């Protein structure tokens, strides 16, 4: 510890006012505070002691909660590769393929995003905000494994710049940064983020009878052609196994999809971590699942098309629903900020997700657009909750 401290102390003068790299102080500070908690003490007036929590720890908690999704997702890339190409591979080989494919995406996402963050940090003279540590990990988890790296870089830069920095940086943004990146890719380069892009094949050819679509796409197509959704799912990729898209596979995540989104189970583990630590709002998570389920049940009753007739609980496990509900919707900056508002916000995301999925064949994935839309409306929800608070105060005054 001592020698690390010495390195920092020795080089600090270079970055301080008048030093050679004065302008790079934010950069220096970022690394120093990564090792050592600053020796700053509370001011002489006001609270003399502070809670042990800080933003670094909070953000780290989110990253820890994402780890199950990340690890499972990495392995699943290799696993799907093995299934699609028909090769027999050991667990380690599958994991290795996953790492080779995924790691560059993660590295590019962080490198691109942190570069923008540092430039703004240096310009504004503040050290790095920890928020991007989470966004930088979320972006790789919501893209297909076959995504070109330059697109990852471009989308990340766009998201940090337009999604966050133009609004004033961390804490001021209106849209979730990772979803902004995802939406950018979706609308700018649709061919690389839809269709048969969900399974990494490398230079291998897939086995005969393999189709690379996601469960969402299959459900969508079935509905358009008037076929039963469950039967269509059951008859897809029978060459690999008879129940490739069985409910349990959908729940556990042994299916193709975005790198980190396929497993509802892993997202739920993340949800448990977020809820226990209090870092993510359980009201939002419960709201999204509840809203989606009830809407789907209602659709079951109406039953106007095949997609509407799909059992309601399937909605909770297909696509990125669980991942979005747990990690995207709960972003405290872009979600509703009042406690009642969080319920409304969550429930509306759930409702919108199912509506978009069922009625809008152009966008098979509903959760992304539902969250982005509700990000925009979150301040409006809060506005009315806060207004009610003000109203109560006025009423008390006149009593």
Partner 1 sequence: MSHTIKLKKGFDINLAGKAEKKIAECDQPETFALKPTDFLGIERPKVMVSEGDTVKAGTPLLFCKMMEDVKYCAPVSGEIVEIKRGEKRKLLEIKILADKEVVSEEFKKFSVSDVTKVEKQEVINLMLQSGVWPNIIQRPYGIVANPQETPKSIFISTFDSHPLSPDYDFTLNGEENYFQAGVDVLKKLTPGSVNLGLNGNGEMSPIFTHIKNAELHKFIGKHPAGNVGVQIHHIDPIAKGDLIWTIGPYGVVQIGKLFLEGKYDASKIIALTGSEVKTPQYYKTYTGACINKFIEHNVNDGEVRFISGNVLTGEKIKSNGYIGFYDQQVTVIPEGKNSEFLGWILPTTQKLSFHKAFGLLSFLNGKDKEYVIDTNLKGEHRAFVQTGVFEKVTPMDVLPTYLIKAIMAEDYDEMEALGIYELIEEDIALCEFVDVSKHDLQKILRNGLELIKNS
Q: Which stretch binds partner 1 (CB under 8 A): 104-112, 233-241, 299-307, 330-338?
A: 330-338
- Return the number of the residue (182 or 342) whose C-beta is nearest partner 1: 342
- Return the number of the residue (211 or 340) whose C-beta is nearest partner 1: 340
| CB of residue 338 to partner 1, shortest distance in Å | 7
| CB of residue 183 to partner 1, shortest distance in Å | 22
Nearest to 35 by CA among 67, 8, 16: 8
| CB of residue 237 to partner 1, shortest distance in Å | 39
Contacts with 168 (C-beta within 8 Å, 6 or more apart), sequence order = none
| CB of residue 46 to partner 1, shortest distance in Å | 4
| CB of residue 193 to partner 1, shortest distance in Å | 29
CB 325 within 8 A of CB 342: no
Binding-site member from 143, 286, 333, 372 for partner 1 (CB under 8 A)? 333
- Return the number of the residue (65 or 267) whose C-beta is nearest partner 1: 65
CB 227 within 8 A of CB 312: no
Give the integer Cα–Cα distance in Å for 196 and 179. Answer: 21
DSSP letters for 206-245: PPTT-----HHHHHHHHHHHT--HHHHHHTTTTTT-TTTT
Binding mask 256-295 for partner 1 (x = CB under 8 A): --------------------xxxx-x--------------
| CB of residue 228 to partner 1, shortest distance in Å | 44
Hey, which residues between 36 and 55 contact partner 1 (CB under 8 A)?
36-55
Binding mask 335-354 for partner 1 (x = CB under 8 A): x-xxx--x------------
**Widest pairwise Cα distance in the chain:** 77
Rg (CA), the chain: 23
Q: Is 127 left (phi over 0), alpha (psi -120 to 50) or beta?
A: beta
Angle at the Cα of 265 from the Cα atoms of 259 and 270, rounded to 5 degrees: 80
Count the site residues for partner 1 by CB under 8 A: 59
Give the integer Cα–Cα distance in Å for 132 and 330. Answer: 15
Binding mask 351-390 for partner 1 (x = CB under 8 A): -----------------------------------x--xx
Binding mask 118-157 for partner 1 (x = CB under 8 A): ---------x-xxx--------------------------
CB 329 within 8 A of CB 284: yes
Give the integer Cα–Cα distance in Å for 258 and 118. Answer: 28
| CB of residue 311 to partner 1, shortest distance in Å | 34
Q: What is the three-class DSSP state of 72? A: helix
CB 327 within 8 A of CB 140: no
Binding mask 216-255 for partner 1 (x = CB under 8 A): ----------------------------------------
Nearest to 28 by CA among 112, 128, 170, 123: 128
31 binds partner 1 (CB under 8 A): no
| CB of residue 36 to partner 1, shortest distance in Å | 4
240, two tokens: 């690999």
CA distances (Å), origin 182, targets 109, 134, 331: 12, 15, 15
Hey, which residues between 155 and 184 contact partner 1 (CB under 8 A)?
169-172
| CB of residue 142 to partner 1, shortest distance in Å | 21
- Return the number of the residue (89 or 161) whose C-beta is nearest partner 1: 161
Give the integer Cα–Cα distance in Å for 236 and 133. Answer: 38
Binding-site member from 25, 26, 28, 61 for partner 1 (CB under 8 A)? 61
Give the integer Cα–Cα distance in Å for 379 and 23. Answer: 36
Give the integer Cα–Cα distance in Å for 152 and 213. Answer: 21
Binding-site member from 27, 58, 272, 355 for partner 1 (CB under 8 A)? 58
Q: Which stretch binds partner 1 (CB under 8 A): 176-184, 313-321, 344-352, 391-399?
A: 391-399
222, two tokens: 């079935």
Instruction: Return residues touching partner 1 (CB under 8 A).
Output: 1, 4-5, 33, 35-58, 60-61, 64, 127, 129-131, 169-172, 276-279, 281, 332-333, 335, 337-339, 342, 386, 389-390, 392-394, 396-397
């Amino acid at each position: 510890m001592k020698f690390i401290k010495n390195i920092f102390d020795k080089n600090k003068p270079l970055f301080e006012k008048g030093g050679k790299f004065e302008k790079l102080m934010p950069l220096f500070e970022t690394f120093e505070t990564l090792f050592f908690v600053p020796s700053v003490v509370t001011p002489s007036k006001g609270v003399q002691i502070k809670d042990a929590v800080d933003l670094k720890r909070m953000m780290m908690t989110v990253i820890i909660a994402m780890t199950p999704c990340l690890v499972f997702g990495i392995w699943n890339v290799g696993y799907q590769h093995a299934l699609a190409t028909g090769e027999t591979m050991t667990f380690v080989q599958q994991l290795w393929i996953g790492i080779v494919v995924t790691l560059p995406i993660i590295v590019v996402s962080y490198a691109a995003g942190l570069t923008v963050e540092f430039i703004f940090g240096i310009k504004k003279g503040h050290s790095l905000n920890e928020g991007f540590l989470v966004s930088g990990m979320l972006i790789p988890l919501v893209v297909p494994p076959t995504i070109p790296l330059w697109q990852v870089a471009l989308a990340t830069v766009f998201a940090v710049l337009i999604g966050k920095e133009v609004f004033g940086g961390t804490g001021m943004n209106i849209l979730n940064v990772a979803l902004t990146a995802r939406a950018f890719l979706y609308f700018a380069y649709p061919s690389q983020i839809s269709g048969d892009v969900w399974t990494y094949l490398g230079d291998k050819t897939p086995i005969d009878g393999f189709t690379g679509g996601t469960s969402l796409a299959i459900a969508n197509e079935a509905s358009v052609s008037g076929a039963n959704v469950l039967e269509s799912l059951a008859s897809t990729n029978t060459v690999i196994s008879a129940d490739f898209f069985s409910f349990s596979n959908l729940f556990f995540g042994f299916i193709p999809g975005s790198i980190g989104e396929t497993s509802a189970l892993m997202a739920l583990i993340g949800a448990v971590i977020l809820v226990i630590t209090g870092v993510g709002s359980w009201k939002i998570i419960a709201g999204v699942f509840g809203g989606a389920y009830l809407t789907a049940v209602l659709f079951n009753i109406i039953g106007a098309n095949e997609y509407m007739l799909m059992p309601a609980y399937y909605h909770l496990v297909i696509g990125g629903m669980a991942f979005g509900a747990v990690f995207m919707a709960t972003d405290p900056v872009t979600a509703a900020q009042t406690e009642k508002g969080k319920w409304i916000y969550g429930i509306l995301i759930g409702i919108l997700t199912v509506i978009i999925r069922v009625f809008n064949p152009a966008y098979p994935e509903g959760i992304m657009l539902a969250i982005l839309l509700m990000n925009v409306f979150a301040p409006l929800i809060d506005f009315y909750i806060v207004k009610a608070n003000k109203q109560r105060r006025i009423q008390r005054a006149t009593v």
